[in-house]
Amino acid sequence: MIDLEKRCAEIRSRIDKAARKAGRNPEGIELMAVTKTRELPELIEAWEVGLRLFGENRVQEAARKIASWPAERRAQWRLIGNLQRNKARKALELFSRIDSLDRLELAFDLQRVLSETNRKIDVLIEVNTSGEPSKHGIAPNGLEELLEGVLQRCPNLTVRGLMTLGPLNADPGEVAASFSLLRELRDRVSKEFGLEMPELSMGMSDDFEIAIEQGSTCVRLGRALFGPRE
């Protein structure tokens, strides 16, 4: 608990410092606790030290934790991992936002379920800005088509912005280039489609300060908060 509290305080001060250095207001940057592989007691500790926004990668894993989550502790859950089409319905039960929409068929599945109750949900489109084949996300040159499809055929999805993962083991210049590409893509498509797309979810434990410099509005931190994963 002490450790998590201390790490959390250190991270918040690094976020503040990076924001100030970039001439930004730190309040415009959300801190998401990425809780994949962590069990409920650790999540509750995270809540106790003030974290309220949780990101999970897998629907099943999240379902198990959210089912036993103490309801009086108010928290927000977002999906940040690849979503299989057959888990769209379950994902909509669990998460308040899907941050990893990366293909039109999945958007149609979400739309179909949402239209049953006329519920709306916010989403981010995940873009593969690094070109690494192991990563999910739409290729930058497919973004316009995906966005157009969502706008035309998925009225119950509201695209709030974009999400990306920086390249692994890259030098800071390459990491910055991948994040600035996301920002440029956002600027371009939001203008083209006349949309407000304020959110840029980018930056993880090893690169969140670079992401803040490049305009991140949500940093997603796992190891920096909880220590190494098994």
User: Cβ(33)–Cβ(53) under 8 Å?
Assistant: yes
Look up tokens 């979810």; give the residue. Answer: 201
The C-alpha atoms of residue 7 and residue 4 are separated, in whole angstroms, by 5
Q: Contact with ligand PLP (CB under 6 A): which of 53, 59, 218, 224?
A: 224
CA distances from 129 to 160, 161, 182, 186, 190 (A): 18, 14, 7, 12, 17
CA distances from 199 to 22, 24, 33, 118, 160 (A): 17, 14, 17, 24, 6
What is the closest distance, in whole angstroms, from the C-beta atom of residue 165 to ligand PLP in the complex?
6
Of 17-25, 45-53, 179-187, 214-222, which segment contacts ligand PLP by CB under 6 A? 214-222
Would the CA dihedral through 14, 175, 83, 152 be positive or negative?
A: positive
Q: Contact with ligand PLP (CB under 6 A): which of 145, 155, 223, 227?
A: 223
Closest listed residue to residue 197, CA positions, set 131, 92, 101, 108: 101
x/- map, 159-198, ligand PLP, by CB under 6 A: ------x---------------------------------
Of 2-10, 127-135, 172-180, 217-225, which segment contacts ligand PLP by CB under 6 A? 217-225
Q: How wide is the angle at C-alpha 18 spanned by C-alphas 17 and 24, nearest 5°? A: 95
Q: Contact with ligand PLP (CB under 6 A): which of 66, 80, 124, 157?
A: 80
What is the closest distance, in whole angstroms, from the C-beta atom of residue 203 to ligand PLP in the complex?
8
Enumerate residues 107-146 that contact ligand PLP by CB under 6 A. none
Enumerate residues 44-73 that contact ligand PLP by CB under 6 A. 57
Residues at the interface with ligand PLP (CB under 6 A): 34, 36, 57, 80-81, 165, 204-205, 220-224
